[in-house]
Amino acid sequence: MARGRSQRSGRIGLAVWLSGALALLQMAAAAPAGGTHPAGSVLPDLVMLAPKDFSVEKRPKGKRWLRFDTVIANIGPGRFEVYGYQHADDPSGTLRVVQRIESGAGSWAEHDSPAAMTFAGDGHNHWHVIGLQSWILTNDRNERLGSGAKTGFCFWDNFRYGSSAGAYYLPSTTSACARRADSIVPMGLSVGWGDEYPSTIAFQYIDISGLPFGEYTVQVQADAGGAFVEADETTNNLAWSRIRIARRGVTVIDSGLGPLP
């Protein structure tokens, strides 16, 4: 979620951010989560909602960005809670990520995740988990034409998705996405809460420069790298919207939860 729109990070910062993010994604793919957690653990379950609020932003030199809104949510039964910490073996500013899993009766187990956190890089002065969401643009033959510009995600309870309880994970109360006094960086999603990324925030787009007007599909996935343990790791991590991009704008033809039909 965006909290600031400052654009202080320059071109060098962006380059570092992108190369680091790619390397970390490869790490995540090489070491999927599958570690142990106690029997009876109460796991989170991440889902994506169908992308929405599409528009095309015209950029200098004829470039065009397809912007849209994404929401990741936790439908439970357990909380989705992580924290980042600096390990002495890692470059300064790249945090390892631990998933905390409710193991019943108020106790928690800690599960090393192959994910990583990095700071800022998108103009936001907060920490992000790399690779929590992935987005691709495909044509009607399901060929991949583009992917999301945003690779880091700071998440907390800002989109109600079925819960009647109040938000718990917040920047103001749980220091979500900020380094606490004890130097860890916590993030989380309560059961029945999600995190919304409005279409206007930094890097919330797929570059469609050079693509003709026509029909396309935007597919979104939570935890594509398998970094986090969930109650359901499969189809509910996916969602999609079929869109028509025309001179006058973008319309949604159809959308759905789960894999493409």
Binding partner of 46, given Zn ion, Ca ion, none, CB within 5-8 angstroms per partner class: Ca ion
Site for Ca ion in 174-213 (CB under 5 A): none
Q: Measured from the CB of residue 192, what is the shortest distance to Ca ion in angstroms?
A: 14
Q: Measured from the CB of residue 74, what is the shortest distance to Ca ion in angstroms?
A: 9
Residue 152 vs 225, nearer CB to Zn ion = 152
Structure tokens at 137: 């643009």
- Asked if 230 interacts with Ca ion (CB under 5 A), we say yes
Count Cβ neighbours within 10 Å for each residue of 53-68 and write b for 16 or more, e otherwise: ebebeeeeeeebbbbb
- Asked if 242 interacts with Zn ion (CB under 5 A), we say no
CA distance 104 to 38: 9
Q: Measured from the CB of residue 228, what is the shortest distance to Ca ion in angstroms?
A: 5
What Å distances lie between residue 8 and 80, 126, 155, 203, CA to CA? 31, 13, 21, 14
Burial of residue 9, with CB atoms counted within 10 A of its CB: 0-12 exposed, 13-18 middle, 19 or more buried: middle
- Whether 157 and 168 have beta carbons less than 8 Å apart is answered as yes
| Closest residue to Ca ion, based on beta-carbon distance | 223
- Asked if 150 interacts with Zn ion (CB under 5 A), we say no
Binding partner of 124, given Zn ion, Ca ion, none, CB within 5-8 angstroms per partner class: Zn ion
Q: Measured from the CB of residue 32, what is the shortest distance to Ca ion in angstroms?
A: 9
- Asked if 237 interacts with Ca ion (CB under 5 A), we say yes
- Of 111, 124, 150, 242, the one binding Zn ion (CB under 5 A) is 124
Which helix (H) or strand (E) is 52 found in, with range? strand 52-58
Residue 169 vs 216, nearer CB to Ca ion = 169
Burial of residue 180, with CB atoms counted within 10 A of its CB: 0-12 exposed, 13-18 middle, 19 or more buried: exposed
Structure tokens at 247: 């001179």
Site for Ca ion in 46-105 (CB under 5 A): 46
CA nearest neighbour of 131 among 25, 19, 13: 25
Contact string 159-188 vs Zn ion (x = CB under 5 A) = ------------------------------
Which span sits near Zn ion by CB under 5 A: 37-45, 56-64, 123-131, 246-254?
123-131
Find out whether the peptide bond into 77 is cis, omega within 30 degrees of 0. Answer: yes
CA distance 111 to 36: 7
Judged by CB under 5 A, how many residues of this single chain contact Zn ion? 3
Residues that bind Zn ion (CB under 5 A): 122, 124, 154
Residues that bind Ca ion (CB under 5 A): 45-46, 223, 228, 230, 232-233, 236-237
